[in-house]
Structure 1
Amino acid sequence: MAGETAGGQTSGHAGGRVTVTDAEARKVAFGAFVGTALEWYDFFLYGTAAALVFNRLYFATDDVLVSTLAAFASFAVGFAARPLGAVIFGHLGDRIGRKRCLIITVTMIGIVTGLIGLLPDFAAIGIAAPLLLTLLRLLQGVAVGGEWGGAVTLAVEHAPPERRGRYAAMPQIGSPVGTLLSSGAFLAVAQLPPESFDAWGWRIPFLAAFPLLGIAVWLRRRVEESPLFERMLAQDERSSSPVREVLRRAWPQLLVGAGTTLLGVGGFYLITTFVISYGTSQLGLPRSLMLGATLVAAAIEIGVLILGGRLAERYGAWRVTVAGGIASALMAFPAFWLIDTGAAAAVIIGVTVATALLSIPYAVSGALLTELFPPHLRYSGVALSANLAGVVSGFVPLVATALLAVGAGTSTLPALLLVGIALVTTASGAVAPRFFAERDRVATGD
């Protein structure tokens, strides 16, 4: 792998450059984006429902805080399961191909999400309801654990080296689009009378996963396998145990990659999932306002991600990561102060600005992570890094809710949590370049 370029397009052992056209790269990146958008739509639905529905209908107690903590705990289970998905699909993706795994993951999560929409609540089947809901969330997490790493890897390995930043950002755009779809769906059904919303309205966004799944699978089947992987397959350059090799030889890259990803995932859930709950239950703000704020933030985020991909090509992904981390840390307290005013415009501005800033490092995380790992370990390394951060991120709303209780209902401690997350990403981005040159040594085992 010593001859691989920065774009991941050549391999010294494979005997030359793997050439792809811009048209092919765009097609693959779009396929990765659409599948990832569906994945995040399904995954984000649960986060929104945990804040608005599951805490009342599935984890029913007389204490609102306890119900919310239980719902967020089930939310966190999905993140805890993601490393398992990274291990399973990372191994398969580096062994049998990126495309096959991505078809499996998108099918799995679509089916699971639809089943959540069919699940009876606590009043109907008792304790089985939260248990089955948590199990479905677990399976959802496994699927998502293998999705993003494969989508980014496939997009990067089809991209011309000089345009890798923009194509690596395409799967990232699936996140705000998924947020727009999920928040928009919940905003629509939230207009129903409360009794209708609780009885059947909230289920509609989950059941919509079934037809959306058909579209995603059709698009994924049209995407070609990575030409770099096909060449590795022909030359038998695959690792017999890619996950084990990453853990043994590339663990520093694994930790650095997880740190650079933490703000884009954990910070996002703090500003969306936790803030929705905080705004509605603690500040008494309307559900429609909190959901509307996330919609505005997601729309702005799309532009930030596109810009971030271009900036990565010009300045380097690690510099963009550091800049985004510093900006997020500086804006954490002002964002919460705006939300605390309860004024609609201030709430929307606070959520939107905070989301835009933490999206800067998220925009370039695909480009940065793929720099850390050689091709024969890339799917495993990228997936494990992202999902190691995902495990921590899944507990962020739960931790923020607990800190809220400790802080007597004020936003000081949750804002401080956001500062800490941002600084971890800043430090990780700053040290990342020293590991880029290590790829050849790791790949050859020297």
Structure 2
Amino acid sequence: MTTSTPTTGLRMRGPVHGTGDQTRVVFGSTAGAVIEAYDFIGFGTAAALYFGTVFFPNEDPLMGTLASFATLGVGFIARPLGGIIGGHLGDRIGRKPVLVASLIIMGLATVLIGCLPTYAHVGVLAPALLVTIRIIQGLAYGAEWGGAILMTYEHAPWLRRGKFTGMVQAGFPVGLLLANLAFLGSVQLPDDWAWRVPFLFSAVLVIVGLVVRSKVPESPVFEEVKDSGQLVQNPIKQVLRDDWRNILRGIGLRVAETAGYAISITYMISYLHSNDLANSAQTILALCIASAIGIVATFGWGALTDRIGRRPLYLWVTIFNCAWAIPMFLLANTGLFVAVVLTVVVSYCISQNALAGAQGAWFPELFQANTRSSGASLAYQVSAMVSGLTPFLTTLLYMAFGWLGPALLFLAYSAVGLVATLVTRETWGPAERREAQRISDATPPTHGGHRQGSTTSPHTAGVMH
């Protein structure tokens, strides 16, 4: 049963104190997020450092880089379709099946990349196979995020949903760190083994992830929706009809983060390498340092939104990003290793991590529970198309305008995020936080402090959001 709190606009559903499985769920979701990020982001590192010459040999290295980044972008373009499929299934059959299936598909695709023949062996068949597998990766990654975030969000206590979803979002820098450590460790390996080994290592991570995720229970909110007969026959169609404005807002919010990351991190790797500002080992080491800090940063940013709200954090960080666009490249252009590390750390731990940390709780709160998987996944993944094409577009801008072109594009993406923030409602403002605290204080925890079931008592439940 659900009730609304119109005086505060509080929109919550599920056990106010969370479930007894909340810890297991957050670790299961985070473990899978780590593996998915390792697989998907590892491709970006390989594309920047190796694939341009291995799969797209050309007398002009810049053309090889363009082709490599185009292949990277194909995976991002496939992510919305994966989000549609995963979102639909998440709203129809549950969050957990999507989590397990996406992990298996992603793992198999990544291992296959490590086994691919190169252009030197089979000619044009090599890049064709690479593109095909990259599309499969994109489908799996597009389906995964919504399930992992919603499982965690819907099991978590109301007052700590930013903190819990921040842990899942922190799986991204963990995966990035593991991927770059793998490439850093393999950089001295002979020939193609330098890039093959990190992809083959994914098999170990997938086995561990499946063991963890197999023990994760279904979302209590989904079970409540199903038991009350509120499942929607076509959730994608309904959310597009009823909540298209929030989808557009979510896309704008995400563009500032994901497309900004594509410039400040993905493209920056190639920029530093191709302009002899840092060698491969130095670039990967800088990424490892940023990733290690980013694990704590993302979790911390998510927890901060429980205290100050989702919208204020997004507002201040998008403003900061607008101001950071030019100095970011000026700092990198010094070629000093300390400056390179500082550039990558600030770009990642503030410009990206803070926005990602806020999204984990903000995006689910924008949509109804019975179309939440579809709505959040669409908003999150459609923006990935922009992100996927950004390194390619950034390279073209660099060819035309030098480093100023990529810097201005980063500024434009940040401005889009700022506008989207201004037009998106706050879901966890002071009034909502006070009301949630009152309900939490008035509701005695069950089963040693956690509620095991999937429904809430009438006076502790919010509306379907």
Q: What's the offset of the Cα at 1:309?
A: 1.4
CA distance in 2, matches of 1:331, 1:292: 22
In structure 1, the residue matched to 2:335 is 342
In structure 2, the residue matched to 1:278 is 271
CA distance in 2, matches of 1:327, 1:298: 20
CA distance in 2, matches of 1:39, 1:321: 25
Say how many residue pairs are matched.
428
CA 1:155–1:378: 2 relative to 1, 3 Å: same
Q: Answer with 129-138 or 272-281: which moved more.
A: 272-281
In structure 2, the residue matched to 1:115 is 112
Provide the secondary structure at the position in 1 that maps to 2:214: helix
CA distance in 2, matches of 1:246, 1:279: 42
Q: Tell me which amino acid in the other structure corresponds to 2:49.
A: L
Q: Deviations over 1:222-270 (max 9, x none)?
A: 1110011111111221110001111111110001011112222111121
CA distance in 2, matches of 1:251, 1:221: 34
Conserved? CA contact 1:7–1:161, under 8 Å: no
- With normalisation by structure 1, the TM-score equals 0.92
Q: Tell me which amino acid in the other structure corresponds to 2:186.
A: V
Conserved? CA contact 1:329–1:419, under 8 Å: yes
Output aligned runs, 1:183-194, within 5 Å: 183-192=180-189
In structure 2, the residue matched to 1:147 is 144
Provide the secondary structure at the position in 1 that maps to 2:33: helix
In structure 1, the residue matched to 2:371 is 377
Q: What's the offset of the Cα at 1:298?
A: 1.1
Provide the secondary structure at the position in 2 that maps to 1:59: coil
Q: What's the offset of the Cα at 1:53?
A: 1.1
Q: What's the offset of the Cα at 1:82?
A: 0.5
Q: What's the offset of the Cα at 1:19?
A: 5.9
Q: Tell me which amino acid in the other structure corresponds to 2:101.
A: I
* 1:355 maps onto 2:353 in alignment: no
Conserved? CA contact 1:89–1:146, under 8 Å: yes
CA distance in 2, matches of 1:285, 1:163: 41
CA 1:18–1:341: 2 relative to 1, 3 Å: closer
Q: Tell me which amino acid in the other structure corresponds to 1:267.
A: G
Q: What's the offset of the Cα at 1:377?
A: 0.6
Conserved? CA contact 1:332–1:354, under 8 Å: no
* 1:412 maps onto 2:408 in alignment: no
Q: Answer with 322-331 or 104-113: which moved more.
A: 322-331
Provide the secondary structure at the position in 2 that maps to 1:87: helix
* 1:239 maps onto 2:239 in alignment: no
In structure 2, the residue matched to 1:424 is 416
Q: Deviations over 1:68-109 (max 9, x none)?
A: 101000000001000110111111110000001100001100
CA 1:7–1:300: 2 relative to 1, 3 Å: farther
Q: What's the offset of the Cα at 1:435?
A: 8.4
Q: Which has the bigger relative contact order, CA under 8 A and spacing at least 6?
A: 2
Q: Answer with 131-140 or 62-71: which moved more.
A: 62-71
Q: What's the offset of the Cα at 1:46?
A: 0.6
CA distance in 2, matches of 1:355, 1:200: 28
Q: What's the offset of the Cα at 1:7?
A: 7.0
Q: What's the offset of the Cα at 1:340?
A: 0.5
* 1:30 maps onto 2:22 in alignment: no
CA distance in 2, matches of 1:19, 1:7: 15
Q: Tell me which amino acid in the other structure corresponds to 2:18.
A: V
In structure 2, the residue matched to 1:97 is 94
In structure 2, the residue matched to 1:3 is 3
Q: Tell me which amino acid in the other structure corresponds to 2:385.
A: V
Selected match of 2:55 from 50, 54, 58? 58
CA 1:383–1:42: 2 relative to 1, 3 Å: same
Selected match of 2:358 from 357, 361, 364? 364
What runs of 5+ residues in structure 2 fail to find an aligned partner? 430-462
Conserved? CA contact 1:9–1:19, under 8 Å: no
Q: What's the offset of the Cα at 1:436?
A: 9.0
Provide the secondary structure at the position in 2 that maps to 1:395: helix
Q: What's the offset of the Cα at 1:420?
A: 1.1
In structure 2, the residue matched to 1:314 is 307
Q: What's the offset of the Cα at 1:124?
A: 0.5
In structure 2, the residue matched to 1:14 is none
Conserved? CA contact 2:30–2:167, under 8 Å: yes
Q: What's the offset of the Cα at 1:169?
A: 0.9
CA distance in 1, matches of 2:25, 2:136: 26
Q: What's the offset of the Cα at 1:162?
A: 0.7
* 1:392 maps onto 2:386 in alignment: yes
Structure with more of its chain in helix, by fraction: 1
* 1:44 maps onto 2:41 in alignment: yes
In structure 2, the residue matched to 1:79 is 76
Provide the secondary structure at the position in 2 that maps to 1:202: helix
* 1:293 maps onto 2:286 in alignment: yes
CA 1:416–1:123: 2 relative to 1, 3 Å: same
CA 1:435–1:30: 2 relative to 1, 3 Å: closer
Q: What's the offset of the Cα at 1:329?
A: 1.4
CA distance in 2, matches of 1:426, 1:406: 27
Conserved? CA contact 1:148–1:171, under 8 Å: no
CA 1:308–1:4: 2 relative to 1, 3 Å: farther
Provide the secondary structure at the position in 2 that maps to 1:237: coil
* 1:265 maps onto 2:265 in alignment: no
Q: Deviations over 1:280-318 (max 9, x none)?
A: 112352111111111111112122212211221111111
Q: Deviations over 1:138-160 (max 9, x none)?
A: 00000000111111111110011
CA distance in 2, matches of 1:126, 1:191: 26
Q: What's the offset of the Cα at 1:434?
A: 6.8
In structure 1, the residue matched to 2:459 is none
Conserved? CA contact 2:86–2:146, under 8 Å: no
Conserved? CA contact 1:309–1:364, under 8 Å: yes
CA distance in 1, matches of 2:162, 2:229: 29
CA distance in 1, matches of 2:464, 2:157: 22
Q: Deviations over 1:336-367 (max 9, x none)?
A: 11111001111111111121221211111111
Q: Tell me which amino acid in the other structure corresponds to 1:316.
A: G
Selected match of 2:212 from 208, 211, 219? 219
Q: Answer with 26-35 or 106-115: which moved more.
A: 26-35
CA 1:108–1:219: 2 relative to 1, 3 Å: same
CA 1:434–1:296: 2 relative to 1, 3 Å: closer
